[in-house]
Structure 1
Amino acid sequence: MSRTVIVVVDGFGIGAMPDAGVLRPGDLAADTCGHVLDRCREAFGRPLRLPVLGALGLGLVHPHPDLARRTRLPVAAGRAALGYPGADTFAGHQTMMGADFSRVTVARLAEHLDEVRRVLTDAGHQVELLDGKPLLVVDGTVLVHDNLEADPGINWNASGRLDAVGFDAVLSIARTVRTIAPVARVIAVGGHADGPLSAFVRPGDGGTVGLDTPATGFYRNGGLQVQHLGAELDHTRQLPELAARAGVPVTLVGKAADILVCETAVRRPAVDTAEVLAHTVEAARSAGDALVVANVQETDLAGHQQDAERHGRILEQVDAGLAALLSLLSEAGDRLIVTGDHGNDPTIGHAFHTREYVPVLIHRPEAAGAELLPDAASLADVGATAAAALGLDPAGLANGAEIRGAAPRAS
């Protein structure tokens, strides 16, 4: 029996990567963990209560004084660089699960405007610029533009008013753009706006131009339809499919259920942290081999809301849930891996993700003590480590990675 549970605390960074300031120089000061701990101590009049994260080795990889510097648990603790461009939940999870993101780039639509225009025209669409700006109006109804709600150049959108065009038409245009787009995601968005979409076009960071989707009323007027079209990936060479083909039951919880591909997986989508943790604990009670991948989304939402206190309260909820998981994953070969997918520092002065290292905290019941790991070059190492713990061959993953803090299970 070998159960591996991966808990991704969304947006939980532990300090800026060296290239974090390329897009925004101020992001070199990003430290989601440290700044949340500081702000919550000031607001609550006490340090955050994170005994389990401390016992899992968070204090070994982050120097904050509110985190314990020692642990008696059998853990391996380190930090990982992201291993993909930018700072994005979709790219983070795909990389972690074994996808090869080496061909995915960060790019503004303006840099590929002629190519996108050509592929849409070849598909029979009428395409024109909007008032000379670097975004496209397709068939007079759908805007193809930079996504302004993520870091510049991470995603492109195809957006349409559903009173003027059906969502199937928006999705078809997005799929055509996807065939030529080098970015991680092309997102089809349809909704009911408060006026013509051209009235809500504005410049974004890093030279982008796009639709201010929240201002349109799409999110508040009801009827919103969204579909994410990811970069072409070989999902058969990702951890969930690798495990499923080996007969290991797979459960995907929270946002992981929405963005990871595995046909036979049990899916438990949820946003509420208590619900995510309850589903994760339930899946971890398996009496045999199991892979569980869970995403705690509300930490990321708190980062976007620039609400450090909410972020801290969610971390305390997560810590309590991890205590329940530790009590279940106590057999030799079991693994609890706690990590993040990027940073989202709520104190940095903007509502975007931050490009930070993330913790990689691995509980290994059969180990003799604690081990401090060297920095990993990519989140891919999390998938490789989980594969080895489950007795799978990490070479089956598409992106190549190293096993960290966990030896392959004896056959």
Structure 2
Amino acid sequence: MISNVTLIVLDSVGVGELPDASEYGDEGSNTVSNILKTVKNVQLPNLSKLGLGKIDSVHGLDSPENVIGCYGKSKEKSKGKDTTTGHWEISGIILDEPFPTFPNGFPSEIIKKFEKSIKTKILGNKVASGTAIIEELGEKHMETGYPIVYTSADSVFQIAAHEDIIPLNRLYEICKIARELLQGQYGVGRVIARPFIGEKGKFTRTSNRKDFSIEPIGETILDKIKSSEYEVMAVGKIEDIFSGRGITKSMHTEDNMDGVDKTIEFMKMHKKGLIFTNLVDFDMKYGHRNDPENYAKALEDFDRRLPEIMNNLNNDEVLIITADHGCDPTTESTDHSREYIPILIYGEKIKKDVNIGVRETFADIGETILDLLSIEKLKNGTSFSKKILK
């Protein structure tokens, strides 16, 4: 029996366009392969040992002769390509309809209700890059005190505010107000607090971002594991994505390496259950900013920490590394891309060099985790535990 699974989501590290990518304007997207093609001499020896280079849509990464993990990739069955959709599907919720998006900004009736509720006007209300909009409206925000509202191609209602103008507790409060308003046809996947500091020309977003996701619409593997009296330990924005549901312990993070540190901190406890980590820098700092060089460096930084993660596994524990969508920094788009996600599995009780193939849904990961932990499955996917267990 497996006592614990550590599941690490490398946010946006996709491995090639899905068959329906054209419906999302994402033809040609392949986050990992296009980075390897664009940035020369990227070194990912430890991910290669787990089998990343043997996934058929990953190009430009040599594979060692002795691969020590199992590997494969998965399609996304849900409609959409955002963070909440991806994580929910991994956990067993498959969405028939995507979360709503607002390419022309939010309707005036919603904005008016929001302004009335927070007792102040807002700036923005348009599709924009987070760094660009604070450069455009940051000074006016500081003059007026009005929060900046913006969105993207994803289902998000983002609120930016300077920490000296709108303190964090107030920013989080108005995000909660927005979350309560944005339901039904306006029910975006996430309301996101985007605090920043600095002065005109030198504005910088801080690590105090907070996501306010819509509550999961069905039972998840987190609920199943918690109800079995096991621990569900969340690292990064996992707690936010699931609105705290099904989680027993959580730690937020400042960056990827802090996320690795806190994952290892949980691993050293060797509690029965699940450690669920999101490493967001790939997506937030580099994918959306079309920065392949620093995206590649972030991959190398994680790769260097991978042996430390693996060495903290007990003999009855398993590591799974995956993603939630793509965000190819080499394309013109600055938004998420509709891509396959990689699946890499490692542990003392896991076979070596086994291809689990192309999974039909991200939910196969969640079903496998429940199977490994000997917990009743949700039956929204197909477990691959028999393929990987020795």
**Above 0.5 in TM-score?**
yes
Range moving further from structure 2, 336-345 or 240-249: 240-249
Which deviations, in whole Å up to 9, do the C-alpha atoms of 1:91-133 show, x marking residues without a partner? 22222122342244444377995xx84x899x8x899xxxxxx
Structure 2 distance, partners of 1:371, 1:250, is 28
Q: Which residue of 2 aligns with 1:12?
A: 13
Equivalent pair of 1:107/1:182 in contact (CA under 8 Å): no
TM superposition score normalised by structure 2: 0.77
Question: Does residue 1:323 correspond to 2:300, yes or no?
Answer: no
Q: In structure 2, how many angstroms separate the alpha carbons of the residues matched to 1:373 and 1:385? A: 12
Relative distance call for 1:63 and 1:71 in structure 2 (3 A) is: farther
Quickly say closer, same or farther: Cα 1:308–1:107, change in 2 above 3 A: closer
In structure 2, the residue corresponding to 1:28 is in which secondary structure? coil
Matched with 1:266 is 249
Q: Which residue pairs with 2:61 in the alignment?
A: 66
Partner of 1:247: 229
Q: Distance in 1 between matches of 2:207 and 2:235?
A: 23
What residue in structure 2 maps to residue 214 of structure 1? none
SS of the residue 1:79 aligns to: strand
- Separation (CA, whole Å) in 2 of partners of 1:281 and 1:190: 28
Query: How far is 1:170 from its partner?
Result: 6.8
2:72 to 66, 75, 78: 78
Question: What is the CA distance between 1:182 and its match in structure 2?
Answer: 4.7
What is the distance in 2 between the residues matched to 1:225 and 1:287? 29
Asked if the contact 2:7–2:319 (Cα under 8 Å) also holds between the matched residues in 1, the reply is yes
Q: Deviations over 1:45-103 (max 9, x none)?
A: xx322222111111111442432065442x32111123333321222222212234224
Cα separation, partners in 2 of 1:173 and 1:93, compared to 1, 3 Å: closer
Matching residue of 1:207: none
Deviations 1:148-192 (A, max 9, x none): 4465262345789978xx765674355223244254235577999
Cα distance 1:126–1:327, how it changes in 2: closer, same or farther (>3 A)? closer
The superposition leaves residues 357-381 of structure 1 with CA deviations (integer Å, 9 ceiling, x where unpaired) of 1101112422443221221222222
Work out which of the residue numbers 295, 305, 328 in structure 2 matches 1:345.
328
Larger mean Cα displacement after TM superposition, 182-191 or 309-318: 182-191
User: Bigger CA drift: 63-72 or 76-85?
Assistant: 63-72
CA contact (8 A) 1:174 1:187 kept: no
> Does residue 310 of the first structure (1) align with residue 305 of the second (2)?
no
Specify whether residues 363 and 221 from structure 1 end up closer, same or farther in structure 2 by C-alpha distance, changes over 3 A only: closer
Which residue matches 1:285?
268
State the shift of 1:258 in Å: 3.4
1:87 maps to 81
Q: Specify the SS of the correspondent of 2:357.
A: coil
Larger Rg belongs to: 1
Quick one: distance in 2 between partners of 1:326 and 1:230?
31
**CA distance change for structure 1 residues 13 and 40 in 2, over 3 Å: closer, same or farther?**
same
Match of 2:139?
A: none
Query: Residue type of the partner of 2:32?
Result: C
- Residue 111 to residue 298, structure 1, CA distance change in 2 (3 Å): closer
> CA contact under 8 A between 1:76 and 1:364: conserved in structure 2?
no
Instruction: Give the AA of the match of 1:391.
Output: S
* Cα deviation code 1:293-335 (max 9, x no counterpart): 1111221121122221211121122112221222232524x22
5+ long unaligned stretches in structure 1:
42-46, 128-136, 195-216
How many residues end up aligned between the 2 structures?
Answer: 358
CA deviation after TM superposition for structure 1 residue 4, in Å: 0.4
In structure 2, the residue matched to 1:32 is 31
**Which residue in the other structure is 1:3 paired with?**
4
- The one-letter code sitting in structure 1 at the alignment partner of 2:220 is Q
Aligned residue in 2 for 1:206: none
Q: Identity across aligned pairs (percent)?
A: 21
Please provide the CA RMSD for this pair: 3.8
What is the one-letter code of the residue matched to 1:374?
Answer: G
Alignment of 1:49-128 (within 5 A): 49-61=43-55, 62-68=57-63, 70-73=65-68, 75-108=69-102, 117=109
Matched residue, 2:145: none
1:346 to partner: Cα distance:
1.4
> What's 2:22 paired with?
21
> Matched residues in 1 for 2:275 and 2:35: separation?
27
2:259 corresponds, among 276, 289, 302, to: 276
Residue matched to 2:140: none
**Per-residue Cα deviation, 1:252-284 (whole angstroms, up to 9, x for no partner):** 112324323246522121132222111112212
Residue 101 to residue 361, structure 1, CA distance change in 2 (3 Å): same
Is 1:390 the counterpart of 2:373? The answer is yes
Distance change (3 Å), C-alpha of 1:347 and 1:223? closer
**Structure 2 residue 185 is the aligned partner of structure 1 residue 177:** no
